[in-house]
Amino acid sequence: MTSKWLRWMPAAAVPAVIAAGVLAGSVPASARDPLPDKTPAQVLAMIAQHTTKALSGTIEQTSELGLPDVPQMGPTSGAGTGSIAELLTGPHSARVYVDGPAKVRIQVMDRLAERDAVRQGNELWLYNSKDNTATHVTLPDKAAGSRPPATRMPGSVLTPEELAARMLAKIDSSTDVTVGEDVEVAGRAAYSLRLTPRSEGTLVESVAIAVDGERGLPLSVEIRARGQVEPAFRAAFSSLKFEAPDAGLFNFTPPPGATIKEVVVPGWPHAAKDPGRHRGTHQPPGARLNSPSVTGSGWESIVSFPARAAVPDASAPNTGTPNAGMPSIDGLLADPLLRQATVTVPGGRAISTSLLNVLLTDDGRVVAGSVPLERLQAAAAAR
Side-chain-side CA neighbours of residue 261 (13 Å): 19
Least Cα distance to 301 among 347, 383, 346, 357 occurs for 357
Q: How many residues does the chain have?
A: 383
Kindly report, as residue ranges, where domains of CATH 2.50.20.10 are found in the chain.
Answer: 3-250
Average the pLDDT over each of 43-52, 138-147, 203-212 and give the range with the smallest value.
138-147
pLDDT digits (tens, 9 = 90+) for 244-260: 999 999 999 999 999 99
Average the pLDDT over each of 4-18, 67-81, 212-226 and give the range with the smallest value.
4-18
Q: Select the more confidently predicted residue: 279 or 224.
A: 224
> From CA 13, how far away is CA 203, in angstroms rounded?
31
CA distances 199 to 203, 205, 265, Å, are 10, 9, 40
Predicted pLDDT of residue 337:
62
Which residues, in sequence order, are CB contacts of 294 under 8 Å at separation 6+?
301, 302, 303, 304
| Residue 189 scores a pLDDT above 50 | yes
pLDDT digits (tens, 9 = 90+) for 291-338: 788 998 889 999 998 876 333 333 333 333 333 334 445 555 556 666
Least Cα distance to 167 among 12, 339, 5 occurs for 5
User: Are 194 and 222 contacting, i.e. CB atoms less than 8 angstroms apart?
Assistant: no
pLDDT digits (tens, 9 = 90+) for 168-180: 998 988 899 999 9
The band of 290, judged by pLDDT with boundaries at 50, 70 and 90, is: low
3-state helix vs strand vs coil in the chain, percent to 5? 20, 30, 50
> From CA 69, how far away is CA 308, in angstroms rounded?
28
Q: Select the more confidently predicted residue: 157 or 115.
A: 115
Find the Cα–Cα–Cα–Cα dihedral 277, 278, 283, 288, rounded to 10°.
30
The class (CATH top level) of 3-250 is mainly beta
